[in-house]
Chain A
Amino acid sequence: MKHWLNKVWLLSKYEKLLMIRTRKGILLILMMIGLGILSIILELTGAPKDIYKFNDILFTAYNIYFQFLPIALAVILADAISGEKERKTWNFFMSKPFTKMQFLLSKFLTDYIVVSLAIVLMWGIVFIIAKTITSEMNCSWGQFLTLIVISEAVVFAIVAFEITISAVSKRVSVAVLLIVISWILLMIFNMAIPLWRGFIAPWAVNSYQTSVITRLLNTGPKKLFPFEYLIGYPSINEIFASIWIPLAEGIVFYIFAILTIKR
C-alpha cells in the first residue's frame, strides 16, 4: 500500500512540475479569478439597482461562475489524460510499473488541488470586492465558509467529470467537444429526469446546491425549480447533502474512468 501511494505521489509531483513549467497552473488560477471578477461585473452592470447587498453579490457570483466553470475548465482539464495520449507520453508512463488507477488518481488529485486553491482565491477576491462596494457583510462567517465548502464539493464533481471525459478521449480537441456536449446533456437531464431533477448537474442553476445556497444566504429566488417545496434556512442535513452528493458523483465519475480507460 505504501509503495502504491508513493507512486501516486511520484506521478502527482510530475503533474505539479508540468503545471509549473508549462505555466498551466498559474494560467488556470488567473482564468478562474478572472471569471469570478467577470461574474461580479455582470451582476453590477446588469439590472440597475440603487443598493447592492453583500449576500446578493455572493449569490450572483456563485450562480454565474458555476454555470460556466465546466466550460472554462474544459480548456485545461480536457488535456489531462487525452493530452498525454496525444503527445504519446502516455505510452511512456504505461511502459513503467504504474497502474492506470494510480495515473488517474494523481492527475485528479493535482488538478483538484490547483482548482480548489483557485476557488478559495476567487472567493477571497469576490469577498473583498463585495465588501468594498457594499461596506457591509450581511451574512455570517459560518455562512460564507459553508458557501466555500459547497463550492469545493461542486468543483470536485466538475474536475472528476472532466478528467473522466479526458480519460476516454484520445485527442484533446475531441475531449473538449465531449465535455461541452456532456455539459449540455447533463444540464438537460438535470431538469428533465423525474426524481433526479436538480441532483445530476450540481453546478446548474436548478441544482440542489443552488437551492441550499439561496436559502443559506437568504437571497435569490424564493422558490427555486425543482425545489419549490424547500423553504427557510437549510438544515444541517440539507447542507451536508449538498456537500456529499457532488463528492459521491465525483467518485462515480472516477470509477467510470478507471473502468473505461485503456492502457
Chain B
Amino acid sequence: MKHRDIIKVDDLSYHYGRNLALDYISFTVRKGDFFCFLGPNGAGKSTTVKLLTGQLKLQSGEATVDERNIRTENKEIIKNIGVLTDDMVLPKELTVRELLKFVSLSFTYSNSKAKDVSNQVISKIGLREYANFKIAHLSSGLLRRVSIGQTLVNNSSILFLDEPTIGLDPVSSREILGLIKKIHNEGITIFYTTHLLKEVEQLCTSLAVINRGKIKLCNNFLNLQKHFKKKIEIVISNKLKSLVRVIKILKKNGWKDIITDRKKILISIPSNNVSEEAFNTIVSILQKNKIAFSKAAIKQLSLEELYHTIISEGGINETLVK
C-alpha cells in the first residue's frame, strides 16, 4: 500500500533580516516514515522545523502538515503534532508528573484523563521512579526523555524532533535513540533533524540533506543505499574540461549513476555487475578516449563520504534529487 504524503513543503523560503535561511526548499515526507533532515550547523534544519510547527511565521512558499495548511491552520497543526526543538527548555520548577499533566491539560483533557495520560507517558519513557522529581534535578539524559515524553501526550501522528541527542553522552544517546525507535514502531511519523550520520544510518527510512538553506538531496533511504555500495573512483588529471567530457562519454556508454565534485568522479556499480569487470571496462573506455587520469580505484563509499560529497561545493548529480 502506498503511503500518503503527511508533510508537503513547496518552495519554502525564510529570511532572518537580510540573511537568507531557507532558499525555496521543497520536499515531502510520507506517513509512517522516519524522515531524517540532515545538514551541518546553520544549514536551515531548525528554521524548517520552526516553520512547520508554527513557531515562525511563514514568509513565502506553501507547506502542509497532515493535510493542514501551515499558513491558515496553524492552531490545528499545533494540536496534532509533538514538537521538541533544540532551543526549547522545560519549566524547571515543575516535577515530571506536574509537567506532563500540565501539557495534557493544555490539550483540554479533563483532569482525570490528564492524570491517566501523564501516567501512561511516564511509563512509556521509563521514568516512574523519577515522576516526582523536579525537572531541575534531572540529568541531561532523563531530561531529554521528559522532553520526548511531552511530545507524546496528545497522541500526535507526527513528531518533530530537532537534534534530540545533542549534548548527550553515548549511553544516554543510545537510550534516547532506542526510545525514539520504539515510538516510530508504533506507527508515528518522525521528522528528525540531525547532523550525526550514525543516527541516520541507524534510524531513517527517508532523508533530505540541506546545506546553506538549499535541499541538496531528497530520497528514500533504500534507494539511496545503493550509493553506499562499491564505486569506481577516478581522479581526472586535467580537471574541469575533462570532467565534463568523461561524464558525457560514460553516460553514452551506459554508466548513469555518477556523482562528481571538483576533482573526482564516483561511478556506481550496478548490482548485476562484478566490480572488477566494471572497473576494467571503465578504464578501457577512458584509455580508448585518451583521457588522462591520475587515479582509478574501486572504493566503498560510506554515508559520510556521500554526505561530504553532497555538502561540498560542486554538489551532486540531479538523479539523486527526487
A residues apposed to B, CB below 8 Å: 3, 6-7, 10, 14, 17-18, 21-22, 87-89, 91-92, 94-98, 263
Kindly provide the distance from the CB of A100 to the nearest chain B CB, expressed in whole angstroms: 12
Instruction: Supply 20 A–B pairs (Cβ within 8 Å), ascending by A.
Output: A6-B108, A10-B105, A10-B106, A14-B91, A14-B102, A17-B94, A18-B93, A87-B92, A88-B87, A89-B89, A89-B90, A89-B91, A91-B87, A94-B55, A95-B53, A95-B55, A96-B103, A97-B106, A263-B54, A263-B56
Chain A residues with CB under 8 Å of B105's CB are 6, 10
Q: State the main secondary structure of chain B at its contact with A.
A: loop
Q: How far is the CA of A7 from the CA of B109 in the complex (A)?
A: 11
Chain B residues with CB under 8 Å of A97's CB are 75, 78-79, 106-108
Kindly provide the distance from the CB of B167 to the nearest chain A CB, expressed in whole angstroms: 14
Kindly provide the distance from the CB of B163 to the nearest chain A CB, expressed in whole angstroms: 14
Q: How far is the CA of A6 from the CA of B104 in the complex (A)?
A: 13
Chain B residues with CB under 8 Å of A88's CB are 87-89
Chain A residues with CB under 8 Å of B150's CB are 92
Q: State the main secondary structure of chain A at its contact with B.
A: helix
Q: How far is the CA of A10 from the CA of B109 in the complex (A)?
A: 12
Size category, B interface: 20 to 34
Q: How far is the CA of A94 from the CA of B54 in the complex (A)?
A: 9
Chain A residues with CB under 8 Å of B87's CB are 88, 91
B263 within 8 A of A: no
B residues apposed to A, CB below 8 Å: 53-57, 75, 78-79, 83, 85, 87-94, 98, 102-103, 105-108, 150
Contact A10 B91 (CB under 8 A): no
Kindly provide the distance from the CB of A165 to the nearest chain B CB, expressed in whole angstroms: 22
Contact A10 B93 (CB under 8 A): no
Most chain B CB within 10 A, of A3, A10, A21, A92, is at A92
Kindly provide the distance from the CB of B59 to the nearest chain A CB, expressed in whole angstroms: 14
Q: How far is the CA of A212 from the CA of B78 in the complex (A)?
A: 50
Kindly provide the distance from the CB of B249 to the nearest chain A CB, expressed in whole angstroms: 53
Q: How far is the CA of A17 from the CA of B88 in the complex (A)?
A: 20
- Contact with B106, one of A18, A98, A263 (Cβ below 8 angstroms): A98
Contact A92 B55 (CB under 8 A): no
Contact A95 B78 (CB under 8 A): yes
| Pairs of residues from A and B, 4 with the lowest C-beta to C-beta distance, nearest first | A88-B89, A95-B83, A91-B88, A21-B93
Q: How far is the CA of A92 from the CA of B106 in the complex (A)?
A: 12
Given A95-B55, A95-B83, A97-B78, A87-B89 contact (CB < 8 Å): yes
From B136, which residue of chain A is reached at the shortest CB distance?
A: A21
Kindly provide the distance from the CB of A263 to the nearest chain B CB, expressed in whole angstroms: 6
Chain A residues with CB under 8 Å of B103's CB are 96
Q: How far is the CA of A120 from the CA of B103 in the complex (A)?
A: 35
Kindly provide the distance from the CB of B73 to the nearest chain A CB, expressed in whole angstroms: 13
Contact B90 A96 (CB under 8 A): no
